[in-house]
Amino acid sequence: MTGQTGWTRGPLLGFDTETTGIDVTHDRIVTAALVRRDAAGTHVRTWLIDPGVPIPAAASAIHGISTEHAREHGVPPAGALDEIAATIAQAMRDGVPVVAYNASFDLCLLEAELERHGLATVSERLGGALVPVIDPLVLDRAEDRYRRGKRKLVDLCGVYQVVDTGQLHTADVDVVATLDVLDRIVDRFPHLGELPLSELHDYQVTAHRAWAEAFNAWRAEKGLTGEGAGTVWPVPSPRAPAALPPAAPQHHPAPVGRPVQDTLIA
């Protein structure tokens, strides 16, 4: 990021998950990564979690984690989820923005998982809204709204000339790519870097609502059925998560919540 000012100097806390599916109410987190980037370097923390339910083959094909692997090597969810939520909540208290690609998905899923396991949600820990959040997907849609083509993370890596290592859909790799894409977005649209974090957050709230309303109107014109895009960003009012299934005896070689990886990249 050239000519860094304001929040662009960091620190930033990147967040990503890989999951059992795309339903934020019912699906579970399988891997998670938190990547803190500041003047000292890039500090990576990852978790491999046994979600307590089978991981569908379609999900395993994306992130490479099978049910058997998660059961053998993963940690129980509660400890890991509590660590993740505590880190995110503390960052937000400190005014450190949480950066996530399609942030609504990861944050809504995390909140549902915390409720499911009887843990305080991030919003409960904060006593209010999840702020500040930065979502490169929302910013890209707002700043380059007429560009044709898909807007998955891999697509934005191409648009903003971020090197794709071929390992996307690994949580920590996705976070680093997300932070790099954010750098390039701000390089291309420097006024974003000049906004105070509170204004940048509010800008994204408004931008996402405008996009979602336009997208839902397009769906209606096409006669498409099914649930449209939610208009509230990043986290709508909480919904009750699905109840836990009966637990089967499981072997967990690692202590509760122990990170799979905790490294500093200079």
Question: If 0-12 CB within 10 Å is exposed, 13-18 middle and 19+ buried, where does residue 148 land?
Answer: exposed
Residue 49 DSSP code: B
- What is residue 163's predicted lDDT score, i.e. its pLDDT? 81
Kindly report the number of other CB atoms within 10 A of residue 21's CB atom. Answer: 15
- What is residue 226's predicted lDDT score, i.e. its pLDDT? 87
Separation CA 31–CA 155 (nearest Å): 22
Q: Which long-range contacts (CB under 8 A, 24 or more apart) does 3-10 make?
A: 3/190, 3/193, 4/193, 5/193, 5/194, 6/193, 6/194, 6/195, 6/196, 6/197, 7/97, 7/193, 7/196, 7/197, 7/200, 8/186, 8/193, 9/39, 10/37, 10/38, 10/39
Fold classified for 10-221: Nucleotidyltransferase; domain 5 (3.30.420)
- What is residue 59's predicted lDDT score, i.e. its pLDDT? 94
Domain spans of the chain, in order of start: 10-221
- What is residue 236's predicted lDDT score, i.e. its pLDDT? 83
- What is residue 237's predicted lDDT score, i.e. its pLDDT? 60
Q: Which two tokens stand for residue 247?
A: 């637990």
What pTM does this model have? 0.86
Separation CA 213–CA 137 (nearest Å): 16
- What is residue 240's predicted lDDT score, i.e. its pLDDT? 42
Chunked in runs of 10, what are the mean pLDDT values of the chain (266 residues)? 72 97 96 95 96 96 94 97 99 98 98 98 97 98 96 95 76 93 96 97 98 95 92 76 45 43 52
Separation CA 255–CA 252 (nearest Å): 7
Which residue in the block uniquely carries the two structure tokens 């890209």?
140
What is the DSSP track for 140-188? Answer: HHHHSTT--S--SHHHHHHHTT----S-TTSHHHHHHHHHHHHHHHHHH
- What is residue 4's predicted lDDT score, i.e. its pLDDT? 56
